[in-house]
Amino acid sequence: EPEVTQTPSHQVTQMGQEVILRCVPISNHLYFYWYRQILGQKVEFLVSFYNNEISEKSEIFDDQFSVERPDGSNFTLKIRSTKLEDSAMYFCASSEAKGGNTIYFGEGSWLTVV
């Protein structure tokens, strides 16, 4: 079964440092997403990406965040200057079509900012 893979599974970083979370979506998928879940809270949408540009983003996705598809297989989320409140599980997802009923998620990357 095809799967979305994410790295690292867990990262600890100091406040103010830059972090890059990596994702390899399923190979024939065209739409990519990032979600996050702060411990004990809801899974929140951050951004969706299609055709090498952002197609939707939430108010959480401010200037400290950016996404990129640098090489046709990886899909990255960069947090420029991490804050304590960025500590969360970050989920990458992909789908074949826009709003396709089946959105495939990775297992998540835990980010802990200290």
Binding stretches for another protein (CB under 8 A)? 3-4, 6, 33, 35, 37, 40-45, 48, 56, 91, 93, 98-99, 101-108
| φ, ψ at 36 (rounded to 5°) | -140, 155
Q: Could you tell me the smallest distance in angstroms from the CB atom of residue 68 to another protein? A: 20
Q: Which is nearer to another protein, 5 or 73 (CB)?
A: 5
CA dist 100 → 41, 50, 55, 61, 72 (Å)? 25, 13, 15, 22, 21
Q: Which is nearer to another protein, 27 or 101 (CB)?
A: 101
CA dist 86 and 90 (Å) reads 10
> Under DSSP, is residue 85 helix (H, G, I), strand (E, B) or coil?
helix
Q: Could you tell me the smallest distance in angstroms from the CB atom of residue 55 to another protein? A: 9
Q: Could you tell me the smallest distance in angstroms from the CB atom of residue 83 to another protein? A: 21
Q: Which is nearer to another protein, 48 or 82 (CB)?
A: 48
Q: Could you tell me the smallest distance in angstroms from the CB atom of residue 81 to another protein? A: 26
CA dist 69 and 23 (Å) reads 9
